[in-house]
């Protein structure tokens, strides 16, 4: 019995350590991306950030499946994500584009890193709440991978023939601002659907995930950056439409309440007279 108990404890410890190994591997690829960006190896630096994002998904998935999530793991994951999806994309964009845009162009990248840190801090504060079907604010890995995959997208034939003439200097600035605001906003962003076979939702999630994997393998250079733009736009458009519909529903309700509660004034003559207290005579005291 003692041997079995010891074996179970060892297995439990191993299961707890595995998500942290994936988290540290995420950090490894984030730092490697920074090194490659400083050496102007932009293509590999971009894809190492994407690999870091895949590892970030894996450590969270393993922690949920094995039910070994802990406060330590959440804090470690946030510290690593600041590097892999905040600093690494910012360094990549700086050497790729902003280093030639003026002395203070890096301020936009600093703002992006600040929003990544704020997004992760808020996520840790809300981690104790019940799990939701969506994220509050755009996830920092999605924002970081969107910026990282810009360079591979510029290497495609479609970009060279159709989009190269656009003012990308201004577009990138607006994109960084939009991603930064989306991370710290209260906009709801959908999670990837869960995979399963028994239920209809599980089969739909399996189909969606397999479709993403298929497109990623078939044309990764042309697929990921438009996917990030679409995901960012999806949250913003969804929030705008939802807010417009909710405002439209509230106005008729307020009008109905105003019609039901008609104000009226009671005249002094119609009000019931109150009996005033009269002090009794001295002989009655």
In a domain, 273, yes or no: no
Contact in structure between 118 and 184 (CB atoms under 8 Å):
yes
Question: In this model, does residue 283 exceed pLDDT 60?
Answer: no
Per-residue pLDDT tens digits for 94-152: 999 998 888 888 999 999 999 999 999 998 887 655 456 678 899 999 999 999 999 99
In a domain, 162, yes or no: yes
Structure tokens at 27: 């950090």
The residue with greater pLDDT, 242 or 7, is: 242
* Cβ contacts of 153 within 8 Å, gap of 6 or more: 159, 221, 222, 224, 225, 226
Structure confidence at residue 265 (pLDDT) = 46
3-12, 16-25, 148-157, 217-226: lowest mean pLDDT where? 3-12
What is the total count of domains within the chain? 1
In a domain, 89, yes or no: yes
In a domain, 201, yes or no: yes
Which CATH number characterizes residue 102's domain? 1.20.120
In a domain, 48, yes or no: yes
Residue 52's domain comprises: 10-249
Per-residue pLDDT tens digits for 151-202: 999 999 999 999 999 999 899 999 999 999 999 999 989 887 777 677 777 7
């Amino acid at each position: 019995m003692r041997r079995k108990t010891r074996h179970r404890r060892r297995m439990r410890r191993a299961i707890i350590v595995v998500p942290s190994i994936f988290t540290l591997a995420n950090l490894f690829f984030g730092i490697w991306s920074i090194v490659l960006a400083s050496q102007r190896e932009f293509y590999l630096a971009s894809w190492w950030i994407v690999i870091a994002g895949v590892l970030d998904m894996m450590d969270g998935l393993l922690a949920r499946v094995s039910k070994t999530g802990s406060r330590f793991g959440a804090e470690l994951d946030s510290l690593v994500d600041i590097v892999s999806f905040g600093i690494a994309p910012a360094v990549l964009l700086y050497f790729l584009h902003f280093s030639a845009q003026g002395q203070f162009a890096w301020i936009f990248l600093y703002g992006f890193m600040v929003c990544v840190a704020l997004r992760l801090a808020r996520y840790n504060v809300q981690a104790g709440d019940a799990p939701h079907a969506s994220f509050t604010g755009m996830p920092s890995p999605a924002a970081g991978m969107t910026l990282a995959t810009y360079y591979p997208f510029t290497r495609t034939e479609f970009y060279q023939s159709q989009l190269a003439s656009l003012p990308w200097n201004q577009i990138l600035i607006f994109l960084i601002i939009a991603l930064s605001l989306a991370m710290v906003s209260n906009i709801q962003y959908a999670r990837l659907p869960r995979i399963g076979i028994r239920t209809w939702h599980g089969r739909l999630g399996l189909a969606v995930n397999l479709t993403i994997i298929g497109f990623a393998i078939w044309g990764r250079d042309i697929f990921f950056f438009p996917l990030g733009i679409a995901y960012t736009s999806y949250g913003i458009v969804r929030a705008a439409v939802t807010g417009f519909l909710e405002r439209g529903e509230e106005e008729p309700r307020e009008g109905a309440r105003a019609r039901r509660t008609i104000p009226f004034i009671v005249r002094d003559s119609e009000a019931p007279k109150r009996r005033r207290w009269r002090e009794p005579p001295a002989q009655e005291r």
